[in-house]
Homo-oligomer: A and B are copies of this chain.
Amino acid sequence: MRNVAIIGIGQTPVDEHWGTSLRALAAKAVLSALDDANLPGVEALYVGNMLSGILTSQENLGALIAETCGMPGIEAVKVEAACGSAAAAFRQAVLAVASGAVDSATAVGVEKLTEMSGTATTFGLATASDSDYEAAMGLSFVAINALLMRRYMHEYGWRKEDFAPFVMNAHRNAAHNPNAMFRKPITAEQYAQAKVVADPINLLDSSPIGDGAAAVVVVAEEHLSRYGGRPVAVRACEIGTDTIALDNRKDPLWLEGVERSTLKAFRSAGVRHQDIDFFELHDAFSIMTALSLEASGFAEKGRALKLANEAYFGIGGKMPLMTFGGLKGRGHPVGATGVYQIVEACLQLRDQAPAAIHVSGARRAMTQNIGGSGANVVTTILERMG
């Protein structure tokens, strides 16, 4: 199995892109990543997307986006794993190059959500849950997370305001990310007063959906001398799953998919927790930040909120989190998010992050993209080269 490196990255701002079609949005990110890699094209394209069929009546995105990017004819498919689609597409791109089947591939995550009615989007997002046993009972995706948050507070004795520092951290970092949807810091008071969406989840616990596309170009490490640019090594990209429906899990507060995916990634990369310098996690809701930190092994069970302080997650802290604002501040274009996380980690490892959010000297990054409420988890470990 060949080692794989990222040699090009591209992204659009996460925003309401009403004037740009899905294919054009994807092409912007792909062409920007190809330009960054100084390549005219690649041999294979993997598209991460969740909702184009339901929301824009378009499937077959692989061929469509290959054509839009001026690469008609290349191998191209769509990969879907709910909100984990983009990193799952990245995994396939890495496997294609690692196997030797192709020498170069692009993974692009793309999603358009904001042109639709809220009802259509809520319905669409619910397809990530169990349609027979959750969605059909009226359980929306935010309601599932509200159940988890309520249970977490009940079991471990935390108060709602204990989650605030994670959210404030994400927004503070997003303020420096030119591609973020929300670029204003928020205060603890604003968090406390935010409107409730599904008790106990309020507007500031929830990441905003958005439109966006992000792309990376991967090649074999053994061929790196052919290319210029600033490569970043892919040390691991591993998928772990769990049951889709919460009620099928032994303990709803323990994300086994996260644990499996993290352990596999650590094993593949040959690293331990102390080797990770910063962590882009999947803070779709603030409860997911806590559950991810715990099942990934960065915090003890029920104790993640003890880490909710600047000394831990700040840019100069022990384990900087959501350094570009995370899903909360950058925005969450669901099927595109996983590649945004990888692009942001590359910017850090290439020393190209804006100064205020630059994790100086970082050697290894971990990103974690989650589909459903922990059902499909993709953990990636990236490393600075040279």
A60 in contact with B372 (CB, 8 Å) = yes
Interface residues of A: mostly helix, strand, loop or mixed? mixed
> What are 20 A-B contacts defined by CB distance under 8 Å?
A21-B132, A44-B239, A53-B127, A57-B123, A57-B126, A58-B131, A60-B128, A61-B80, A63-B81, A63-B242, A66-B241, A72-B243, A73-B260, A77-B79, A77-B376, A79-B80, A79-B92, A80-B80, A95-B99, A98-B99
Kindly list chain B residues whose C-beta atoms are within 8 Å of the C-beta of A135: 57
A64 in contact with B244 (CB, 8 Å) = yes
A60 in contact with B375 (CB, 8 Å) = yes
Alpha-carbon distance between A128 and B76 when the two chains are bound, in angstroms: 14
B59 in contact with A80 (CB, 8 Å) = yes
For the complex, count residues of A whose C-beta is within 8 A of B: 63
Alpha-carbon distance between A61 and B244 when the two chains are bound, in angstroms: 9
**Does A257 sit at the interface, judged by CB under 8 A?**
yes
Task: Give A42-98 interface residues, CB cut-off 8 Å to B.
Answer: 44, 50-51, 53-54, 56-64, 66-67, 72-82, 88, 91-92, 95-96, 98
- Hey, which bits of chain A sit against chain B, CB under 8 A? 1, 21, 44, 50-51, 53-54, 56-64, 66-67, 72-82, 88, 91-92, 95-96, 98-101, 123-124, 126-132, 135, 238-244, 248, 256-257, 260, 371-372, 375-376
B63 in contact with A241 (CB, 8 Å) = yes
Supply 4 further A-B pairs (C-beta < 8 A) apart from A63-B243, A77-B80, A77-B92.
A62-B80, A63-B376, A77-B376, A80-B80
A1 in contact with B59 (CB, 8 Å) = no
A74 in contact with B132 (CB, 8 Å) = no
Kindly list chain B residues whose C-beta atoms are within 8 Å of the C-beta of A239: 44, 75-77
Alpha-carbon distance between A50 and B80 when the two chains are bound, in angstroms: 11
Alpha-carbon distance between A51 and B53 when the two chains are bound, in angstroms: 8
Residue among A72, A91, A126, A371 with the most chain B CB within 10 A?
Answer: A72
Which residue of chain B is the closest to A259 with respect to CB atoms?
A: B73
B67 in contact with A248 (CB, 8 Å) = yes
Alpha-carbon distance between A240 and B79 when the two chains are bound, in angstroms: 17
Alpha-carbon distance between A95 and B91 when the two chains are bound, in angstroms: 11
Q: Give 4 closest A-B pairs by Cβ, nearest first.
A: A99-B99, A75-B239, A63-B375, A58-B131
Kindly list chain B residues whose C-beta atoms are within 8 Å of the C-beta of A54: 53-54
A82 in contact with B98 (CB, 8 Å) = no
